[in-house]
C-alpha cells in the first residue's frame, strides 16, 4: 500500500501576519510546512517503518518554492515528491480536485492530510478529497492503525474521542496529538536531495483551478483595549464584583 | 427555496450551537429548515421545532444516523439538495467533517467558520488564526457554510412550534463504522456556551494543580478550558482545548491561569467580555489582552483563590 501526503507551504506558525496595501503582507516572511502536514508525513513514515506502507509520496500544490516543502518531507523519510505547480491563491476545492487527479494515477491506499491549513483555516481539503474519490474519511485523528483493508482511527471530537473503522482506501486528517514529528538530521537532509520530485500542472491534470470565491476585503481585527494589573487575589475579585463580571 | 441547518445533537439534546446557526441562517433571508438526523431523536426534533425562526424540521430517525458518521450524513444532505439553496452547519467536529463532502460533490466552494453575514452571499471569516478577518463573496449557486456558533446569538423560543416532517433514511455509503467513543467527564456547563470559563496552561505544572483549577471552576459554575500545551501534557482532555485548532469561546468572564497567550490560543478567546490573566511572567503576551492581570506564582495563588471564593460564599 502506498500512502500519499499532501503538504502545504504556509506562513510559519510563529509569524503574525499584517495587512499592507489592502492585502496580507507575505513579503520576506518565514514559510514552513503546515504543522498538521508535518504530523501527517511523520505518521506516513512511521507506517512505512512498521512495514504497513510500501511507499510514501508527498504532493504539494503551489509555486515552485513548494519544492523546499517537499524536500523537508523527503528528509523526514518520504520517498518521492510531486509538485503541482500553480501561481496565485488556490481554494481547497481546487486542491482536492488536483489531489483526486493525482490519486487516479498514484492509487494510494491511504491519504494522510492535515486537519487544516493554518493560513486559510479552512479544514476542507481532506473531506473534499474523500468525497470526490467516493472514499471513507476520518478527520482529526489522534491514533491510527492499519489492518489489511481497513483502518482503525481514534479521532478527537468536541465531546471526547471516537473510534471509527474505515474501509481503505480512505482519507485521514491529522490532529496535534497523533505524533510528534521527528527532528531532521543532516545526513537525511543530504539524502533528500537525491530523491525524485516530479512536476505537473493543473492543465496537465485537466483541472480548472479558477477561484470561485471573491475576497472583497482583508482587515486586522480591532485590538482589545489595554487593561490593568491588580496586586492581589482579593483585589481581583473585588474588581470583578464591582464590574458585575461575577 | 430554503436554507437548511444541520442540527448538532447527541440523540437526546439539541446543542446550543444549532440555535446559533439558525440565527446565521435567518440572515440569508430564506425560510429555514432544520435537519435532525439521528436515532431515537424525537426529543431533539421537538426542541428544534420550538426555536424561533424555524419554518420546518426535517426528522430522519434511523439507525444509520445513530452516530455522526460523515459519509451517510453527507449523502443524506445531498439527497435533499433539491430542497435547499444554502446548507449551514455549526463549525463543530461533526459539521466540519460533513459539510466539505457535500460542497465537493455539488462542486461548490465551502465557506468555513463564518463570523458575520454581511449579505446573503457575502460573509466575514477569520484567517491566519484570527490575525486577519476576510470578507468573501460566494458565486451564484448553492452555498455550503460552516458557522462559528459564538459569533451569533442563539435563536429564542418560538411562539408556536414548527411542523416536523419525517423523512426516510438516505443512502448508506457503507464506508465507515462507529467503533466506540470515550466521552470526557467534564462536569459543569458546556465549554462553548458557558458564561464563565476557567482555563489552565502549561504553567499549572502538574495534573494536581489542574484538578485544583477544576475545583475552582466548580465553585464559579464555570467550564474548564485548556491551552494546547496543557492538553498535550495530559492535564486536560482534548475537548477542553481552546484556540485556532480547538474550540472558540466567548464567555462573560475568561480566567487564564498559567497561559502565555500564544496567537493560536488568543484567537479562541478574543470575544470574551472580560479576560483575567494570572501568570508569573509580567511580560507574558496574555497581559496585552487581559482586562485584569495578576502577576503571581500559581502554586501560591491557586489555594488563595480557592480560599477567597470559599470566603465569598462560592460553594
Ligand atoms: C498548528 C498549531 C496549532 C495550535 N493550536 C493551538 C490551540 O488551538 N490552542 C492553544 O492553546 N494552543 C495552540 N497551539 C500552541 C500554541 O502555539 C502555544 O504553544 C500554546 O498555546 C502554549 O500553551 P501555554 O500558554 O499553556 O504554554 P506556555 O507558552 O509554555 O506558557 C506557560 C505560561 O505559564 C507561565 N507560568 C509558568 N509557571 C508558572 C507559575 N508557577 N505561576 C504562574 N505562571 C506560570 C509562564 O510564564 C508562561 O507564560 C498551536 C500550535 C500549533 C503549531
Ligand atoms: N496547496 C496545497 N498543497 C498540498 N496540500 C494541501 C494544499 N492545500 C491544502 N492541502 C492539504 O489539505 C489540508 C487542509 O487544508 P485546508 O482545507 O486548506 O485547511 C492541509 O493540511 C494539507 O494536507
Per-residue pLDDT tens over the stretch B48-105: 999 999 999 999 999 999 999 999 999 999 999 999 999 999 999 999 999 999 999 9
Distance CA A83, CA B205 (A): 44
Based on the fold, state whether residues B30 and B122 are members of the same structural domain.
yes
Per-residue pLDDT tens over the stretch B12-47: 999 999 999 999 999 999 999 999 999 999 999 999
Which residue's alpha carbon is nearest to atom 20 within ligand 2?
Answer: A114
Distance CA B43, CA B102 (A): 26
Pocket test for ligand 2, best of A95, A133, A174 (most atoms within 8 A of CB): A95
**Mean per-residue pLDDT for A75-91?**
96
Instruction: Give the number of whichever ligand sits closest to the CA of residue B209.
Output: 1
Chain B residues inside the 8 Å CB shell of A166:
175-176
B175 belongs to a structural domain = no
Task: Order across the sheet with A136-147: list the strands.
Answer: A197-201, A80-85, A55-62, A2-6, A110-114, A170-174, A136-147, A150-157, A160-167, B176-183
Please report the pLDDT score of residue B187 as a whole number.
Answer: 75
For residue A82, pLDDT beyond 80: yes
B301 Cα nearest atom in ligand 1: 42
Based on the fold, state whether residues B34 and B139 are members of the same structural domain.
yes
ipTM above 0.95, yes or no: yes
Based on the fold, state whether residues B159 and B196 are members of the same structural domain.
no
Per-residue pLDDT tens over the stretch A84-113: 999 988 999 999 999 999 999 999 999 999
- Name the packing angle between helices B207-219 and B298-311 (round to 10°): 20
Based on the fold, state whether residues B269 and B162 are members of the same structural domain.
no
B226 Cα nearest atom in ligand 1: 11
**Mean per-residue pLDDT for B280-291?**
97
Please report the pLDDT score of residue A246 as a whole number.
Answer: 86
Based on the fold, state whether residues B14 and B148 are members of the same structural domain.
yes
B185 belongs to a structural domain = no
CA distance A191 to chain B (A): 32
Based on the fold, state whether residues B151 and B26 are members of the same structural domain.
yes
Query: What residues form DSSP beta bridges with B36?
Result: B59
Per-residue pLDDT tens over the stretch B155-202: 999 999 999 999 999 999 999 999 999 998 777 899 999 999 999 999
Distance CA A179, CA A231 (A): 41
Instruction: Give the number of whichever ligand sits closest to the CA of residue B99.
Output: 2
Instruction: Give the number of whichever ligand sits closest to the CA of residue B240.
Output: 1
Q: Is the dihedral of CA A154, A155, A161, A167 positive or negative?
A: negative
Based on the fold, state whether residues B157 and B28 are members of the same structural domain.
yes
pTM, two decimals, is 0.98
Please report the pLDDT score of residue A88 as a whole number.
Answer: 87
For residue B292, pLDDT beyond 90: yes
Q: What is B107-164 written as a DSSP string? A: T--EEEEESEEEETTEEEEEETTTTEEEEEEPPSS-EEEEE-GGGSPPP-B-SSPPPE
Q: Domain of B158: which CATH number?
A: 3.40.50.620
Based on the fold, state whether residues B206 and B147 are members of the same structural domain.
no
In contact, A62 and A95? CB cutoff 8 Å: no
Q: Domain of B304: which CATH number?
A: 3.40.50.1220
Based on the fold, state whether residues B202 and B69 are members of the same structural domain.
no
Contact between B253 and A246 using a beta-carbon 8 Å cutoff:
yes
Pocket test for ligand 1, best of B260, B263, B272, B300 (most atoms within 8 A of CB): B260
pLDDT band at A212 (very low <50, low <70, confident <90, very high): very high
Peptide bond into A169 cis (omega under 30): yes
Distance CA A44, CA A48 (A): 6
Q: How many percent of chain A have pLDDT more than 90?
A: 96
Pocket test for ligand 2, best of A66, A92, A93, A123 (most atoms within 8 A of CB): A92
pLDDT band at A221 (very low <50, low <70, confident <90, very high): very high
Contact between B179 and A152 using a beta-carbon 8 Å cutoff:
yes
Based on the fold, state whether residues B139 and B204 are members of the same structural domain.
no
Size of interface A-B (CB pairs under 8 A): 248
Domain count across chain B: 2
Per-residue pLDDT tens over the stretch A6-30: 999 999 999 999 999 889 999 999 9
Q: Which residue in A has a C-alpha nearest to residue B96's C-alpha?
A: A123
Contact between A121 and B175 using a beta-carbon 8 Å cutoff:
no
* Residue list, ligand 1 pocket, CB within 6 Å: A 13, 35, 118; B 201-203, 205, 227-230, 241-246, 258-260, 262, 264-265, 279-281, 284, 297-299
Per-residue pLDDT tens over the stretch B193-240: 999 999 999 999 999 999 999 999 999 999 999 999 999 999 999 999
Sorted by where each starts, the structural domains of chain A and their CATH numbers stand as: 2-219 (3.40.50.620)
Q: Where are the alpha helices (DSSP H) in chain B?
A: 16-26, 42-49, 70-79, 93-106, 207-219, 228-232, 263-266, 298-311
Q: Which domain holds residue B241?
A: 191-311
Beta strands in A86-244 (DSSP E): 110-114, 136-147, 150-157, 160-167, 170-174, 197-201, 214-219, 228-230
pLDDT band at A225 (very low <50, low <70, confident <90, very high): confident
Per-residue pLDDT tens over the stretch A113-154: 999 999 999 999 999 999 999 999 999 999 999 998 999 999
Please report the pLDDT score of residue A112 as a whole number.
Answer: 98
Based on the fold, state whether residues B126 and B211 are members of the same structural domain.
no
Based on the fold, state whether residues B139 and B195 are members of the same structural domain.
no
Q: What residues have CB less than 8 Å from B218, skipping those under 6 apart?
A: B187, B188
B186 belongs to a structural domain = no
Amino acid at each position: 500500500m502506498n500512502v500519499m501526503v499532501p503538504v502545504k507551504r504556509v506562513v510559519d506558525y510563529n509569524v503574525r501576519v499584517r495587512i499592507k496595501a489592502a492585502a496580507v503582507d507575505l513579503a520576506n516572511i518565514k514559510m514552513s510546512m503546515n504543522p498538521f502536514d508535518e504530523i501527517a508525513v511523520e505518521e506516513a513514515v512511521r507506517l512505512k517503518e512498521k512495514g504497513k506502507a510500501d511507499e510514501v509520496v508527498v504532493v504539494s500544490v503551489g509555486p515552485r518554492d513548494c519544492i523546499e516543502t517537499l524536500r523537508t518531507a523527503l528528509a523526514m523519510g518520504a520517498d518521492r515528491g510531486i509538485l503541482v505547480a500553480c501561481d496565485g491563491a488556490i481554494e481547497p476545492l481546487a486542491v482536492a480536485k488536483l489531489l483526486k487527479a493525482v490519486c487516479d494515477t498514484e492509487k494510494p491506499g491511504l491519504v494522510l492530510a492535515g486537519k487544516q491549513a493554518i493560513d486559510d483555516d479552512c479544514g476542507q481539503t481532506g473531506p473534499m478529497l474523500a468525497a470526490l474519490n467516493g472514499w471513507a474519511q476520518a478527520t482529526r485523528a489522534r491514533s491510527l492503525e492499519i489492518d489489511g483493508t481497513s483502518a482503525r482511527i481514534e479521532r478527537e471530537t468536541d465531546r471526547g474521542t471516537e473510534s471509527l473503522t474505515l474501509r481503505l482506501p480512505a482519507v485521514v486528517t491529522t490532529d496535534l496529538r497523533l505524533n510528534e514529528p521527528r527532528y531532521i538530521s543532516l545526513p537525511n537532509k543530504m539524502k533528500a536531495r537525491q530523491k525524485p520530485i516530479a512536476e505537473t500542472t493543473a492543465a496537465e491534470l485537466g483541472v480548472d483551478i479558477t477561484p470561485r470565491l471573491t475576497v472583497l476585503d482583508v482587515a486586522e481585527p480591532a485590538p482589545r483595549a489595554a487593561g490593568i494589573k491588580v496586586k492581589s487575589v482579593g483585589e481581583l475579585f473585588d474588581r470583578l464584583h464591582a464590574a458585575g463580571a461575577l | 427555496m430554503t436554507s437548511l441547518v444541520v442540527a448538532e445533537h447527541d440523540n437526546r439534546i439539541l446543542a446550543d450551537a444549532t440555535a446559533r446557526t439558525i440565527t446565521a441562517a435567518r440572515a440569508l433571508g430564506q425560510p429555514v429548515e432544520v435537519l435532525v438526523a439521528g436515532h431515537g431523536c424525537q426529543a431533539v426534533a421537538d426542541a428544534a421545532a420550538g426555536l424561533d425562526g424555524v419554518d420546518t424540521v426535517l426528522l430522519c430517525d434511523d439507525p444509520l444516523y445513530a452516530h455522526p458518521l460523515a459519509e451517510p450524513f453527507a449523502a443524506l444532505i445531498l439527497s435533499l439538495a433539491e430542497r435547499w439553496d444554502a446548507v449551514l452547519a455549526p463549525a463543530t467536529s461533526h459539521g466540519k467533517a460533513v459539510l466539505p463532502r457535500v460542497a465537493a460533490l455539488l462542486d461548490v466552494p465551502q465557506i468555513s467558520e463564518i463570523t458575520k453575514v454581511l449579505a446573503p452571499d457575502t460573509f466575514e471569516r477569520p484567517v491566519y488564526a484570527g490575525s486577519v478577518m476576510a470578507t468573501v463573496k460566494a458565486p451564484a449557486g448553492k452555498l455550503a457554510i460552516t458557522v462559528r456558533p459564538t459569533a451569533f446569538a442563539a435563536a429564542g423560543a418560538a411562539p408556536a412550534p414548527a411542523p416536523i416532517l419525517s423523512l426516510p433514511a438516505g443512502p448508506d455509503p457503507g464506508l465507515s463504522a462507529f467503533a466506540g467513543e470515550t466521552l470526557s467527564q467534564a462536569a459543569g456547563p458546556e465549554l462553548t456556551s458557558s458564561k464563565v470559563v476557567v482555563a489552565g496552561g502549561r504553567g499549572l505544572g502538574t495534573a494536581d494543580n489542574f484538578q485544583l483549577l477544576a475545583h475552582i471552576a466548580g465553585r464559579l459554575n464555570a467550564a474548564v478550558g485548556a491551552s494546547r500545551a496543557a492538553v498535550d501534557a495530559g492535564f486536560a482532555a482534548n475537548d477542553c482545548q481552546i484556540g485556532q485548532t480547538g474550540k472558540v469561546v466567548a464567555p462573560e468572564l475568561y480566567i487564564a491561569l498559567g497561559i502565555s497567550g500564544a496567537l493560536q490560543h488568543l484567537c479562541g478567546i478574543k470575544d470574551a467580555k472580560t479576560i483575567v490573566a494570572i501568570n508569573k511572567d509580567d511580560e507574558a503576551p496574555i497581559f496585552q489582552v487581559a482586562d485584569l492581570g495578576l502577576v503571581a506564582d500559581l502554586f501560591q495563588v491557586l489555594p488563595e483563590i480557592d480560599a477567597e471564593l470559599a470566603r465569598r460564599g462560592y460553594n
